[in-house]
Structure 1
């Protein structure tokens, strides 16, 4: 049986060999296509961090017939195309990258938003009826509801009914929230301020699902409610956040009444740009008094 230490050493040798560039064989190009990125090399005794390589700039196909066309195609999508193979199997680097991205997705789902993030941004916490992360993942219905005590806390935090209310929730990716939420909120607040709309101080809903915003809309009397929430992560990124927005939302309302701006992350719509765009949508909602499919964007 192969020992774990021996297996780790073997993987390190393979990756270091790839990063140095092995002597080209008849099926391998001597130089990568122009603009292609090579795998990083790790420190002595450490595995290189494959997640630091943008797979859109990495050519893993030996001797492609049209390197320029391949790289142009890869540049347009983060999907795993042109990864090559060893017989019928993925090559080592591709498999390890898959496992690393899958691990990042799992971390985003199962981890908690840090106390440091909440304290740094002075976010008061209101929890849904979920007792813990496990219950949040297995009982979505509890992530849509608040206890009477939590409801009173929301009323106290918001105060008099605002025209627009924006809050933050963990959802299914704490990584997305910690990476994008504050920059998005600040851009929204600045853009709405120019329209004469002052946003109340945001708060944080722990273990929150999207429809929790309907409860908040009803108890606060806000005309427009927007939640910045982490989306279910995939293998492309674990940092994708969305903004869900409703006009006079109510509990039990159809999902079609929500407007959503998704893919807010560095590889999609950057946080600051998304904040400005969401602010424009909110302005239009207030003018048209509608959201979701009733709002023509």
Structure 2
């Protein structure tokens, strides 16, 4: 016996409407759940859960203190007040989670656009990672330049500058695509105004933070700055970090570095503001010939 899935779906939706659990097409002008026929095909329209309305809507039915819950939800991007359908999340909550998860996957597996690289005349080198899958499994290889990349950097980069700027995809290509155009010119102009020389910038594919040690063993800069994509979250997937180190060399660790994180226009530090702050940090590093824990010790912080 053949089963018409479309008829079953239509029958279930009709029963739900009779029980007042789902809107009719006439009630769904705001793009809530709609089922209709279009040229003989079944079409289901759902509200976009990523829009501000659905994303910030209170999902708790008849809350004890609606104002208090609304105020609490406004203080964080965490998924508060989403409600539930029995022991399960509501459909809108589940769809939003899946949509946000999809954005994080795009950020992690995405590729920084050629347009952005060309805009800043960035040539590309790679770490010792073979592909993106290995990059996620072998952070240690992402901290080392490939042998060919070492040769390219040695041939193309100015040696012994005050500052060497590097752009790294890290764990979010979106962080570079969305923020580099704003932050890079601020850093470049700020360093020029401070009278600091800047080395030849380049892009590193599949790189981790520790790769700055390998880079500086070649270019011999006073300060290395990595603009790198952060690990994406379910709320924000395009945040950038700026890792900075004074004279980084093989063997140095995070204790020898400084960091400005969460650089994004989506609830973090604005890229323009972060660029100015990075310049001030660099000037301070050069002034004290230190970074990380040592900078705090000598500067008395």
Whether TM-score is above 0.5 comes out as yes
Q: In the alignment, which residue of structure 2 is the partner of 1:285?
A: 285
Question: What is the rounded CA distance, in whole Å, between the counterparts of 1:236 and 1:19 in structure 2?
Answer: 31
Query: TM-score w.r.t. structure 2 length?
Result: 0.82
CA contact (8 A) 1:56 1:74 kept: no
Contact 2:159 2:199 (8 Å CA) reproduced: no
Listed one character per residue, the Cα deviations across residues 44-82 of structure 1 (whole Å, up to 9, x for unaligned) are 955433223277743222333333322222222100011
Equivalence map 1:83-102=2 (5 Å): 83-102=82-101
Any idea what SS the aligned residue of 2:238 has?
Answer: coil
CA distance 1:94–1:196, shift in 2 (3 Å): same
What is the aligned partner in structure 2 of residue 162 from structure 1?
Answer: 161
Deviations 1:85-120 (A, max 9, x none): 111111000010001111111111112222233234
Q: Which moved more, 1:236-245 or 1:120-129?
A: 120-129
Between 49-58 and 224-233, the greater mean CA deviation after superposition: 49-58
Equivalent position SS for 2:50? helix
- The CA deviation string for residues 143-191 of structure 1, in whole angstroms up to 9 with x for no partner, is 1112333112112332131101111000111111111123222121222
Structure 1 residues 231 and 55 mapped into 2: Cα distance closer, same or farther (>3 Å)?
Answer: farther
Distance 2:250 2:163 in 1: 18
- Partners of 2:163 and 2:203 lie apart in 1 by 16
Q: 1:56 to 1:95 in 2, by over 3 A?
A: closer
Mapped partners of 2:27, 2:272: distance in 1? 39
1:269 has 2:269 as partner? yes
Larger radius of gyration: 2
Residues in 2 aligned to 1:230 and 1:279: alpha-carbon distance in whole angstroms = 19
Q: Which runs of 5+ in 2 are unaligned?
A: 37-42
Q: After superposition, where does 1:92-241 map in structure 2 within 5 Å?
A: 92-241=91-240
The runs of 5 or more residues in structure 1 that have no matched partner are 23-38
Partner of 2:77: 78
TM-score using structure 1 length: 0.83
Rate the CA distance shift 1:58–1:277 in 2: closer, same or farther, 3 A: farther
Instruction: State the SS of the aligned residue for 1:103.
Output: helix
- Aligned pair count reads 279
Shift of 1:6: 8.1
Structure with greater strand share of residues: 2
